[in-house]
Amino acid sequence: MEIYLPIAELSVNWAMILGMGAAIGFLSGMFGVGGGFLMTPLLIFYGIPSGIAVATQASPIAAASLAGALGQSTRQGVDYKMGFVLLTGGLTGSVIGVYVFGILQELGQIDFVVDVSYVLLLGSIGGLMLNESVRTIRAARRGERVGGRKPGQHSWIHGLPFRVRFRRSGVYISVIPPAVLGLLVGIMTAILGIGGAFLLIPAKIYLLRMPTKIAVGTSQFQVFFVAATTTLLHAAIDHTVDIMLALLLILGGVVGAQFGIRIGARLPGEQLRALLALLIVAMALRLFVGLVVTPSDIYSVVTST
């Protein structure tokens, strides 16, 4: 039941890869996140080189984002004006990220940089999510309400120049914050193989004050183009996209997401976020252990042809 991956140059159990795609698709559908920040570490754990895992993961992200954006568009859930501002920064970030990726690959440091970045990213995001979920659950049990920013209350972002009215989102803000957000997502997609929606959506809701439905749909619109561009750049420049691996992940993810959406709709939101936070923290710890523990085979021999 093994299949050879020509770019990764190794044989894998196709059923295992298909199952990994289905599992991440299930989690993505249940928790409402892209899943790239979970899939890339799993591929690394399985033995896929970090560079191949990062570059290949961008294609399933593009496929999932396209499906989500089309669905949201039919329900008027996409702010195209905001999406193009995000896309401007995102495409720029993807070009920068692929360039940096190539430099790290030439230096032989891409695996180390990806692993360390995931430890820091997953550890911080998982810790913050877990803390917020626990606080919310405790407050709900005491009958208290977790306070948020009052409607109409402004932040420093609303004082920036170059303000534009985004009618679909109902906000009048500077184009600088969304462009910077798009830039960061583009860089992360290229270097870490993540769509960035799990960071982009909360930022648009809490910083830009966009409605949740519009924030989700617009993020999927932007992430599709950024992930597709990143895939093409990786394939053309550093040749690290393994099409066989990508097809298995896409197929498994599409099937798993359908079940995840159904299960997630039946479970309480805060408990779901707490479970996701625990999973993220566990993966960060697993990567950290891999960085600090001495491997069983200290030396490796590679033959060149």
Look up the pTM and report it: 0.65
SS3 of 171, please? strand
Q: Distance between CA 29 and CA 32 in Å, rounded?
A: 5
Give me the pLDDT at residue 199, please.
67
Side chain identity at residue 65, one-letter code = S
pLDDT lower than 70: segments of the chain: 28-36, 68, 71-72, 129, 144-159, 193-202, 205-206, 212, 261, 264-273, 276, 283, 287, 290-291, 293-305
Give me the pLDDT at residue 154, please.
54
Whose tokens are 């995931």? That residue is 118
Residue 224 contacts residue 84 (beta carbons within 8 Å): no
> Which residues on neighbouring strands pair with residue 165, listed in sequence order?
172
Beta strands (DSSP E) in the chain are 2-5, 10-13, 163-166, 171-174
What totals of helices (H) and strands (E) does the chain contain, helices first?
10, 4
> Whose CA is closest to 3, among 60, 48, 63, 36?
48
Give me the pLDDT at residue 10, please.
82
Q: 243 Cβ partners below 8 Å, 6+ apart?
A: 7
Q: Distance between CA 157 and CA 59 in Å, rounded?
A: 33
Give me the pLDDT at residue 202, please.
67
Give me the pLDDT at residue 163, please.
81
Residue 67 contacts residue 202 (beta carbons within 8 Å): no
Residue 9 contacts residue 170 (beta carbons within 8 Å): no
Give me the pLDDT at residue 236, please.
83
> Which residues on neighbouring strands pair with residue 171, listed in sequence order?
166
> Whose CA is closest to 223, among 99, 113, 76, 59?
59
Q: Distance between CA 305 and CA 295 in Å, rounded?
A: 27
Give me the pLDDT at residue 33, please.
60
Element (H, E) at 188: helix 176-192
Q: Distance between CA 170 and CA 256 in Å, rounded?
A: 34
